[in-house]
Amino acid sequence: MDTASANELLQEAARRAIVYVQSVRDRPVTASAQALQRLDELKHSLPRTGLEAGEVLRRLDEIGSPATIATAGGRYFGLVIGGALPATIAANWLATAWDQNACFRWTSPIVATLEDVSLRWLGDLFGLSGGVGGAFVTGASMANLAALASARHALLSRLDWDVEARGLYGAPELRVIVSEEVHITVLKALSLLGLGRERVIRVPTDRQGRMRIDGLPALDDRTIVCIQAGNVNTGSFDPATEICRLAKDAGAWVHADGAFGLWALASPDFAALTKDFAEPDSWATDGHKWLNVPYDSGIVLVRRAANLRAAMSASAAYLAEGVAGNREPSHYTPESSRRARGVEIWAALLNLGRDGVAALVERTCRHARAFAQGLEAHGFEILNDVVLNQVLVSFGSPETTRAVIGHLQAEGICWCGGTVWQGRTAMRISVSNWATTEADVQLSIEAIVRIAGSIAAGICT
C-alpha cells in the first residue's frame, strides 16, 4: 500500500470511529435482530485473493458497528463495565500506530517509562507506601494470578522451597483462605497455580457479603488470605483492618481483589469503606472497569516488587536487567510480548488527575444512589446497602424480576443484568461508566418503572 492510500485509509478509520463514538450514546444499547442477522455476511470462506483495505474497513464498520453492544454509551449497567475516556481512546490510537512491543525497555523506552510513571502514580493514588512493584496485564483475572503467584513464591521461599524451579511436587503445603463471596477469577487463578480451586477454606459472609471475622481460622505463615474490595453484587468491602492485623502478626499473606473497588481509595468520601485496604501484600485491579480505559487492561500491584519479579521471571539468565536499576517490564508479567496498555492508564491518570479520579468514582456512586432512591420511591425493594456503585433491586417474585430484566434488555433503552443474591433473584445495576449522566439515570429509571408497571398490570409477561 502506498503512503497516500495508507493516509486515506487511516483518516477514514478515524472518521468512522468518531461517528461511532458520537452516536453510541443515543442508539439502543442492544444490537437489533437485523444487525445480528447481517453477521451471516461475514461467515464466508477465506478468499483466495485479499480485499482492498478500504473495503475491509467498510465491511467492519457497516456490519460490525451495529452488532456491537453499546457498553461505551451511558446506559449500559451490566456486569461491571466501564467506557473509555476520549483521552484514552486517543492514546490507544496513537499507541496502536506506534505498535510497540512492551516486553522490554529496549524494545520500547517510551512504554517502559510510562509504565514506571503510572505505577508510581497508582501507588500514590491508592496511598500505598513506597516501592510497590506492579505490572500491566490483561485484566483482574491475570492480576489475581500474578499476585497469587507472588504470594506462593514469598511463602514457599521463606520455607526454603524454590517453587518456580521445583514446582509444587513435594513442597510444603500452603493454605488459602477465601470468603464465600470470592470472585471466580480468584479461584481460577488458584487452580492455574496448583493451589486448587476446591482446596480453599471458605469463610462465611454477612448480609452484605463481607467476610465474617468470627469465621476466620487462625492464621499462620503458610497461609494466603484473599480479601475483596468491592463485591460484584453489593459493592461491599471485607474488613481489612482486622484481617491485615491478624495476618501481619502471623506472617500470612493478604491479597486484595479490588477489580473495581480499589479505585474508591482515590476518594476521601469512601475512607471508612476502604480503611486499611492499603495494608495487604498484593492487589489486583482493572483499568477497563472504573478507570474507563479501553480493553484489555488490568493491573497487579505487589508490596515487595521482588516477590512479583521472582514469580514472573522466565529464568535467571534470560533476565539480567537491561540498564542497572531500571525495571524491565517483562520480568514482572506473565506474558512476554505485550501491547502498550500502560499508555492508556497513563493517559487516563494524567487527564483526570487525582481529583478527577475521585470525582469519577463519586459521580458514578451518586448515580447508583439515585437509582436506588428512584426505584425505592416507586415501591421496589433494594436488597443491598448502596455503599458504592452497585445496586440490587427486586421487583417481587423471581419470575417478575426476571421478566422485568428480560423486557428491559430487549427494549434497549438501558441494560441491566440479573443475579441471585442470598437466595433472592435481583436485577443488578452497576454504574461504572464515565459517560453516564443524570439524564441517563432518569431515563433508565423511567424505563424500568414503566416495564415493571406493565408486568404488574399483566400487560406483558
Ligand X SMILES: *Cc1c(COP(=O)(O)O)cnc(C)c1O
Residues that bind ligand X (CB under 6 A): 80, 139-141, 183, 185, 230, 232, 257, 259-260, 286, 298
CB of 166 to ligand X, least distance (A): 29
Nearer to ligand X, 80 or 455 (CB): 80
| Residue 135 and residue 125 in contact, taking contact as beta carbons nearer than 8 Å | no
Which of 418, 416, 388, 364 minimizes the C-alpha distance to 235?
388
Q: Which residue is nearest to ligand X (CB)?
A: 139
Please tell me what DSSP assigns to residue 65: G
CB of 80 to ligand X, least distance (A): 5
CB of 66 to ligand X, least distance (A): 25
CB of 139 to ligand X, least distance (A): 3
Nearer to ligand X, 112 or 265 (CB): 265
Q: Looking up cell 505487589, which residue turns up?
A: 302
CB of 188 to ligand X, least distance (A): 9
Integer Cα distance of 192 and 10 in angstroms: 41
Helix axes 140-158, 305-312, angle to 10 degrees: 100
Nearer to ligand X, 108 or 389 (CB): 389
Nearer to ligand X, 28 or 139 (CB): 139
Which of 365, 219, 209, 213 minimizes the C-alpha distance to 281?
219
Nearer to ligand X, 259 or 340 (CB): 259
Nearer to ligand X, 108 or 233 (CB): 233
CB of 289 to ligand X, least distance (A): 6
Neighbours of 285 (CB within 10 A): 30
Please tell me what DSSP assigns to residue 256: E
CB of 234 to ligand X, least distance (A): 11
Nearer to ligand X, 118 or 233 (CB): 233
| Residue 341 and residue 287 in contact, taking contact as beta carbons nearer than 8 Å | yes
CB of 169 to ligand X, least distance (A): 29
Nearer to ligand X, 73 or 139 (CB): 139
Cα angle 83, 144, 166; round to 5: 150
**DSSP letters spanning 265-329:** GG-GGGHHHHTTTT-SSEEEEESSSTT--PSS-EEEEESSHHHHHHHH-S-HHHH--SSTT---G
Nearer to ligand X, 108 or 144 (CB): 144
**Alpha helices for 196-251 (secondary structure H):** 240-250
CB of 255 to ligand X, least distance (A): 11
For 356-379, b where at least 16 C-beta lie within 10 A, e where not — what string? bbbebbbbbbebbbbbbebbeeee
CB of 418 to ligand X, least distance (A): 16
Cβ partners under 8 Å of residue 370, min gap 6: 438, 441, 442, 445
Nearer to ligand X, 291 or 383 (CB): 291
Integer Cα distance of 180 and 337 in angstroms: 36
Phi, psi of 210 (to 5 degrees): -90, 140
Which of 334, 348, 329, 349 minimizes the C-alpha distance to 111?
329
Residue 212 C-alpha cell reads as 465474617
